[in-house]
Structure 1
Amino acid sequence: MNHAKPLPGYLIQRYQGWKATSYAENQSWYRRLAEVGQHPRAMVISCCDSRVHVTSIFGADQGEFFIHRNIANLIPQYEPDGEAHGTSAAVEYAVGVLKVAHLIVLGHSSCGGVKGCLDMCTGHAPELEEKSSFVGRWMDILRPGYERVKDVTDSAAQLRALEKQAVLVSLDNLMTFPLIAEEVKEGRLSVHGLWTDIGEGSLEYFDPARREFLPV
């Protein structure tokens, strides 16, 4: 562990500022969260992208959302093969232990992971085809979505369509989890697909009846 270094100064300053303001003003709430544990009503699976700030979008406080982030907000199919599956474990914990009532997949505009998938599938990113590429093998999850939009001729429209496919593929994969399927069937859990435009601050939801994303 000799390679670990102290925090950069600017992060220390930000922490100290938070402790002196936000924490000090809400100290009783933080201590209550620590004492009684977490009871979030919803889980949000979003992208790692630093521009996607789930709690800000929904004006949420600590303890409201159980949040999992990964490249391109993807959920793999149910595959209990004994290997490490961080996303699957997070979903299982949220639904099986925390008993969240809502499970939300949130996609976004200008997603670098989705762009990587598009480049890989069109032969423009051979490095992602390598077996050693963690990103490439993760983006394999989205290949079914690419097949649905591969004939879109406008490049910008194709990328945006694939970003939304990342949400839909994940929703489909969620339902391969026996626990999720059972909770949805019994009405104890609802799943939701969202997509946000970072620059515009807009939010869209997937309407299964119309098979399209509509403005919130």
Structure 2
Amino acid sequence: MSDFSDLVAGYHRFRSTGWVQQRERWSELAVGQSPKVMVIACSDSRVDPSQIFDASPGEIFVVRNVANLVPPFEVGGGRHGVSAALEFAVTQLNVSEIVVMGHGQCGGANAALSRRFEHAAPGEGGFIANWIGLLDDARDRVICEHGTGPEAARAMEMETVKVSIENLRTFPCIPIRENAGSLRIHGAYFAIADGLLHLLDEKTGAFKPA
């Protein structure tokens, strides 16, 4: 798939196969959605959560952005796209689980580690720099422990998940539901090179193959 015409051709294939085969399901979804799981993933074209988790339409509520980041709870300044999506999923859809999924070869994590957009102007990398600034403290921890080599790159990718989970819990609606047992949070990491999914053990901080 290389251009918009390929997308349109893909739509026609979907319309004549997948949509027809799940016609009853699509009729149900036309009434409303009730996903039980929210997935926060990277915008990277190689890591589509629906494909990785083999999910059908309506099963997961997905938010994707650079480096699968969740900002901390804050009420001032700017627009809050991730916060709005999180608020909607938790307080309106009442999802019972949230999965934050990082991945291998993440450009956002790499940019945070190298600070390559540090002096870029908005529109030329400055927006990216401001966004991945959420990882500044994690970057310092990673470099202190791993330096800046290949091990650091993978560690930085996994830190994006931990930072996002920590920030998730700054939203008042999250700990209330966690403490009540109505919401669970999971960390995951998908390795593009070998297709393996790793799950975060929050007690040890380690990621282990699913």
Pick the aligned partner of 1:129 from 115, 119, 144: 119
Equivalent residue, structure 1, for 2:203:
209
Q: Give the conservation status (yes or no) of the 8 Å contact 1:144–1:169.
A: no
CA contact (8 A) 1:149 1:158 kept: yes
Equivalent position of 2:141 in the other structure = 148
Instruction: Flag the 1:41–1:150 CA change in 2: closer, same or farther, 3 A.
Output: same
User: Which amino acid in 1 is paired with 2:136?
Assistant: R
User: What CA distance in whole angstroms lies between the structure 1 residues aligned with 2:87 and 2:147?
Assistant: 39
Q: Distance in 2 between matches of 1:55 and 1:11?
A: 17
User: Between the two proteins, what is the percent identity of the paired residues?
Assistant: 36
Give the aligned length. Answer: 204
Q: Pairwise mapping of residues 159-174 of structure 1 onto structure 2 (< 5 A)?
A: 159-174=153-168
Task: Give the aligned partner of residue 178 of structure 1.
Answer: 172
**Farther-moved stretch of structure 1 (17-26 vs 144-153):** 144-153
- Tell me the amino acid that sits aligned with residue 49 of structure 1: D
2:119 partner amino acid: E
Aligned to 2:17: 21
Q: How far is the alpha carbon of 1:131 from its aligned partner?
A: 5.7
8 Å Cα contact 2:113-2:148 kept in structure 1 = no
What's the offset of the Cα at 1:8? 3.1
* Aligned with 1:72 (options 58, 67, 73): 67
- The DSSP-based 3-state class of the residue aligned with 1:191 is strand
Give me the TM-score of the superposition, normalised by structure 2.
0.93
TM-score, scaled relative to structure 1: 0.91
> Does 2:183 align with 1:193?
no
Shift of residue 31, structure 1, vs aligned partner: 1.0
Q: What 5-or-longer segments of structure 1 have no aligned partner?
A: 1-6
Larger mean CA deviation between 40-49 and 81-90 belongs to: 81-90
Indicate the RMSD between aligned Cα atoms, in angstroms: 1.3
Provide the residue aligned with 1:53 in structure 2.
Answer: 48
Alignment match, 1:62: 57
